[in-house]
Amino acid sequence: PGEAMKYQLHCSAVKLARKDGLFGKSDPFVIIKSYGKPVGFSNVVMKNLNPFWDPIELDVDACGGPHESITIEVFDFDSDAKHDFIGSFTVPIQEFIRNLNKKYPLMNSSLKKQKPQGHFVLTRADVDNRPNALAYSVHFVGKSLARKDGLLGKSDPFLMIYTNGNIQGQSSDKLIFVAKTEWIKDSLNPVWDPLTLSVHSCGGLDMELLIRAYDYDSDGGHDLIGACTTTLRQLVTSKPTLLLIDQKKVGKLYNNSGTLSVGTAPPTQPLYDDNIGRINIQFRAKKLDNKDTFSKSDPYLKIMKGDSFTLHTTPHIKNDLNPVWPAFDLLVSECGLTEVLTFEVWDHDSGSDDFIGSCAMSLRHLLFWEKNPAWRLKNPKRRGLTQNSGMLEVVSLNPYASGPSAVASYHQKAMAGPAMAGVPYASQYGTSHPPAYGTAQPQPGAYGTAARNANEFPSHINANIPQQGTAAPAINASPLMPQQQPHNVPYQSQYTTNAMTSQYSPQGSSREGMQAAGAGTQVGDISLQKQPEPYGISLNKKPEASSLPSYATNY
């Protein structure tokens, strides 16, 4: 009790080992791990054996509490990604915070002669009382991208972001679509409009994110430029510079297909409880009770506050026991974040509507689910052994700040919720964390195995490929009403277009697909063979794709 849950750690080191030759020094940086997972990163201090790093953010909750232990590792940055391990130590968080100025020996078990490779010192630990952010504005910048439009042409790049729903370093063959940018014509150094990435949509701060850069083609045959991996935590705390790797080109003469970094202007802005203005949300239901004798139910969803105040009612969907309703906004000023709301599903009839079932939850409860939340719809008057009348599931959920710009940002930035897509996805990640020069933090390695050509995407993922200079509605977004449509943007429906066609075949014949919201496209799980992946780094030079030492790869 009484322990702070977040700290800004002021750290230094003394007499570090020289890793850059007999007369050189080291370029040290720090990675803090909890149970093998990176939870904190420092900047690189160039050519210094007695460095003082910028404050490192440590979220104690993310580590399991103050009584859990953390491992602090110090590396020497190298531009070829072969960062030299200097040393590490493990200490309980509570003990570490309370023993300021204590010297912890940095040990390297791979050395024959066991002696400290320097000492690590925590000089100050400032309590960070800021609330946990629910969403961040992230500003991506590309540099020196590969030319995809011929020798004299450039590229028309855009980004697509996915998560696999797993903690960093774990594997999965499923992708969850998160967000995409607009495409920019004829640019090898694009600066995209900021994207709002919610913690919920990304599956948490530490879920692996896959970012793919594509060259837009009007015929739908978008060419892969390169791909990389990171996490939301790294994007907003480390501002990494990531190498875009095209796995098909990896070889002795290939370095990378450009870099992707998080821009500093505008700065990343977290979204907290106290400035959430609205929450855009989309629901679907599954296996609803049928209330019609000769057809199926015509269900609609009604959100209630208290016994009589209706916050929102969706349109009814005819003859459908697995409906997907259009997305809508809930205003926090009307709902409150902590008040319990009732979600009722009804069957629309020309006379009296029939009650199907209901469930209850608060907006805060919704916001802190890290995966697609689902609730049983219960009807106390239902005949039979159970009250269950189906399931209510969240398709997408994105919080937005107060202010007039919030509504426009939803459509223009084309945020999407976690819509499952059976897209080829590499399993084992190469996640080195080489920091960029100066103030940039350590970064994860480049993504390799899933760097396939764009035609391997199922058509539903590309139904909303962004148009030049604007972002189309997200996969889970409902059709824009005329009054909501951004000016100079042609009306685009939520339904699948032929922007791209699938050219891969799922392995196996039986699939339980998930219906893309409003599109009617069935998506199955795809199994892939696992392949080794390269590690990527970045600085001002062009590094080679290579592996980290074994002691630095357990991310």
CATH code assigned at 48: 2.60.40.150
pLDDT at position 140 is 94
pLDDT tier at 319, thresholds 50, 70, 90: very high
Residue 415 in this model has a pLDDT that exceeds 80:
no
Q: What's the structural domain count of the chain?
A: 2
Structural domain includes residue 552 = no
* Among 191, 194, 222, residue whose Cα is nearest residue 501: 222
Q: 83 lies in a domain?
A: yes
Which domain-ending residue is among 366, 398, 430?
Answer: 398
Q: What percent of the chain has pLDDT over 90?
A: 31
Give the per-residue pLDDT at 470: 44
412 within a domain of the structure (yes/no):
no
Does residue 406 belong to any structural domain of this protein?
A: no
pLDDT of residue 527: 27
| pLDDT on residue 10 | 95
User: Which residue's structure tokens are 């009403």?
Assistant: 481
Q: What is the arithmetic mean of pLDDT over 58-70?
A: 88
The more confidently predicted of residues 369 and 509 is 369
Going across the sheet that includes 241-243, the strands are 140-143, 259-262, 241-243
pTM of the model: 0.48
Position 287 in a domain:
yes
Last residue of a domain, one of 380, 398, 416: 398
Structural domain range at position 120: 6-130
Decide which of 223 and 272 is more confident: 223
Burial (Cβ within 10 Å: 0-12, 13-18, ≥19) of residue 156: buried
| Strand, helix or coil for residue 417 | strand
Give 221's contacts (C-beta < 8 A, 6+ positions apart).
Answer: 454, 455, 500
> What's the pLDDT band for 419 if we cut at 50, 70, 90?
very low
Residue bearing the bigger pLDDT, 111 or 506: 111
- What are 85's two structure tokens? 């391990």
- Predicted pLDDT of residue 278: 84
Structure token pair of residue 474: 């997200």
pLDDT tens column, 457-472: 333 333 334 444 444 3
Whole-number pLDDT of residue 449: 30
pLDDT, one tens digit per residue, over 18-55 is 887 777 788 899 999 998 888 888 888 889 999 999 89
Q: Helices (DSSP H) in 139-273: which residue ranges?
A: 232-237
Greater model confidence, 166 or 92: 92
Is there a contact between 38 and 237 (Cβ–Cβ < 8 Å)? no
Closest CA to 54 of 96, 7, 11: 11
Which of the four pLDDT bands, split at 50, 70 and 90, describes residue 268? Answer: low
pLDDT in tens, 367-378: 765 455 678 899
Report the percentage of the chain scoring pLDDT > 70.
Answer: 65
The predicted pLDDT at position 61 comes to 83
What is the pLDDT, as a whole number, of residue 529? 30
Residue 313 phi/psi, 5-degree rounding, is -130, 125
The reply to whether 538 falls in a domain is: no
Dump the DSSP string for 168-196. TT---S-EEEEEE--B-SS-SS-BPPPEE
Mean pLDDT across the chain, nearest whole number? 71
Q: Is residue 65 part of a domain?
A: yes
Residue 441 has pLDDT above 50, yes or no: no
- Can you give the pLDDT at residue 87? 95
Confidence at 254, pLDDT banded by 50, 70, 90: confident
pLDDT of residue 244: 92
Among 82, 111, 130, identify where a domain stops. Answer: 130
- Dihedral, CA atoms, 516, 342, 198, 55, nearest 10 degrees? -150
Q: Using one digit for the tens of pLDDT, what is the confidence trace for 281-304?
A: 999 999 999 988 888 999 999 999
Q: Does residue 331 carry a pLDDT above 70?
A: yes
* Candidate ranges 141-145, 233-237, 406-410; pick with highest mean pLDDT: 141-145
d(CA 472, CA 179): 11
Q: What is the pLDDT of residue 403?
A: 53
pLDDT digits (tens, 9 = 90+) for 187-224: 999 999 888 888 877 878 888 899 999 999 887 778 99
Please report whether residue 67 resides in a domain. Answer: yes
Residues in the chain: 555
* Kind of pairing between the strands at 259-262 and 270-271: unpaired
Among the residue ranges 199-203, 256-260, 353-357, 473-477, the one predicted with the least confidence is 473-477
